[in-house]
Amino acid sequence: MRPTHRPDRYPTTPGTGDDADPVGIPIRPGTPLPPGTVFARPGQPTAVAAQASIRAPTHAPTRSSDAVPLRRANTGPAHRRWGWPARPALAIPLPRRLLSIAALTAVALTMSGTTGMAQGATPSPLWPRGVDVASWQHPGGGPIDWNAARASGLSFVIIKATEGTNYTNPFFAADRAAATKAGLVVGAYHYARPAQPLSTAVDQARHFIAVTGLTRTAGHLAPVLDLEDTGGLDPTALAAWTRAFLEEVESRTGRIPILYTYRSFWTGKMADTHDFAKYPFWFAIYNDQATPGWLPGGWSNWALWQYTSGGAVPGITGNVDMNVLCCTSTALAVQADGTHSEIEKWYAAAGPTQVVLGAPVGVENPAGGGGRWQQYGNGLAFWSVATGVHALHGPIATKYLGVGGSNSFLRRPVSDVEIAGAPGGQQARFQGGWIYWHPSTGAHEVHGRILQTYLALGGSTSGLGLPTSDEYSVPGGRESAFQHGRLRWDAATNKIITLPPALG
């Protein structure tokens, strides 16, 4: 993960760069600043920022001054190393009317030698620290001294394993083995090369897992997707590609993959989608602050933070990316426990549900549509990052498997078996429909437009009662039967018609 600067991340004229507006002036770290200078968070009025400086004189992270981390990618068989220049001046965004005043003040204070320098903060020393490395940390093919790195205070390392569908880091296996022997928690990342068709996401995920294995061991972090290249895909297609990769990894490994990216890539190239907020977030941002600041994509917290590319670590030649894990050694141990899948961890804490489901039967398997499933003596459990773990048992589980399980139109369960509104009834909700069961009616599915109308009428507590059939074809549409009526979808009008019970 070798970051580099992108000049357009430091807008100096209106309307340029990913995060243009406001305008910035170059101010080097260490430059004296006028007392009370505060930089507003995106969307925060300048007046509010000024008031904040009185209440809490801290440096809030600013969007336009964040350096943009980009990992070094392989460009072909002859891998090209990108240089890392001396740290440039940071463009600090200021309201336009204050530009000349701030610039003159900074120059004047520098010349007069005034104390009170603008100092960069660092992450808490209590947070576990680690590095990420690739082949670039092996100039001339030399090894990394992982014992020296561990002795310097590092707790973990994440190593580049693969890129695209063909490249494998030739130092990956040896680095992982040596780092593990030195007592470091290890992890592996894949540098994404998005492309059409979307099946390339699955191909890349399988290449990644073929190199790393399932990572189902102690002391191994979950697999990482390094996403900072669009491959020419628009935000919608890129999100679909990313989802396909992550779901393939979670289906194969039973672990929740970690997603690495940086702010302007996510807000711009991924249109700031919130669809991935359930995945652990590895946030790359170099802001000289004690925290990474506001998070894109709907993430409420970060799992890892890559805060600089200029780290110096004994045993590693040259600069290296530095990271912290949020936010304790206990959290690191939990994230590095690959010995149990998400279903196994859920089952161990399931309590009374264990009694209902019974003992596991056979082994856990990938589920159609992403995620995994496990059979038990009296039921099933399905898991995916999108849905969490949900248990099915009894006639509803039998019905679900009968229509095709997660490979069917119902897809994955989003609830356990629940008590239905109708007395004595049960129900379970799925991504593509519901299943209802009652001793007098049996188990039946309802989905699509018919389900929408049924729920709007009150579901099992409505005048229609419980379903007495699955959805079936009729001339000109589809229909479901209920205890006290029918709902028919008319293909010509795309409307739902309520009908009385069928005769006989």
Tens-place pLDDT, residues 95-134 = 333 333 333 333 333 333 333 323 467 999 999 999 999 9
Residue 54 CA to residue 33 CA, distance in Å, equals: 16
Pairwise pLDDT comparison (21 vs 204), residue with the higher score: 204
Structural tokens at position 99: 């530009």
Mark 344-380 as b/e (b = at least 16 C-beta within 10 Å).
Answer: bbbbeebeebeebbeebeeebebbebbbbbbbbeebb
Contacts of residue 2, defined as CB under 8 A and 6 or more positions apart, other chains included, come to 70, 71, 72, 82, 84, 134, 136, 309, 321
Find where tokens 């894990």 sit.
Answer: 325
> What is the Rg, in whole angstroms, of the alpha carbon atoms belonging to the chain?
28
Mark 424-439 as b/e (b = at least 16 C-beta within 10 Å).
Answer: ebbbbbbebbbbbbbe
What is the structure's pLDDT at 69? 56
pLDDT higher than 60, residue 54: no
Residue 121 CA to residue 308 CA, distance in Å, equals: 12
248 is annotated as an active-site residue: no
pLDDT higher than 90, residue 234: yes
pLDDT higher than 60, residue 438: yes
Tens-place pLDDT, residues 292-343 = 999 999 999 999 999 999 999 999 999 999 999 999 999 999 999 999 999 9
CA angle at residue 131 from 299 to 212, to 5 degrees? 80
Other CB atoms within 10 Å distance of the CB of residue 95: 17
Quick check: helix, strand or coil at residue 202?
helix
What is the structure's pLDDT at 96? 32
Q: Of 19, 66, 175, 226, which residue is the catalytic one?
A: 226
Q: Of 228, 321, 337, 471, which residue is the catalytic one?
A: 228
Residue 262 CA to residue 43 CA, distance in Å, equals: 19
Pairwise pLDDT comparison (253 vs 70), residue with the higher score: 253
272 is annotated as an active-site residue: no
Beta strands in 23-89 (DSSP E): 24-27
- Mean pLDDT on 152-172: 98
**Contact at 8 Å (CB) between 69 and 1?**
yes
Q: What is the DSSP letter of 100?
A: H
**Is residue 441 classed exposed, middle or buried when 0-12, 13-18 and 19+ CB atoms within 10 A define those classes?**
buried
Structural tokens at position 43: 């969307």
What are the residues facing 462 on neighbouring strands?
none
Q: Of 19, 66, 132, 321, which residue is the catalytic one?
A: 132
pLDDT higher than 60, residue 67: no
Confidence class for position 503, pLDDT limits 50, 70, 90: confident
Tens-place pLDDT, residues 252-293 = 999 999 999 999 999 999 999 999 999 999 999 999 999 999
What is the structure's pLDDT at 1? 55
First and final CA of the chain: distance in angstroms? 70
Confidence class for position 184, pLDDT limits 50, 70, 90: very high
**Contact at 8 Å (CB) between 134 and 71?**
yes
Q: What is the DSSP letter of 222?
A: P
What is the structure's pLDDT at 40? 40
**Contact at 8 Å (CB) between 359 and 376?**
yes
132 is annotated as an active-site residue: yes
**What domains are defined for the chain?**
7-77+87-112 (no CATH), 129-335 (3.20.20.80), 342-499 (no CATH)
For residues 259, 407, 338, 351, the Cα torsion angle rounded to the nearest 10 degrees is 120
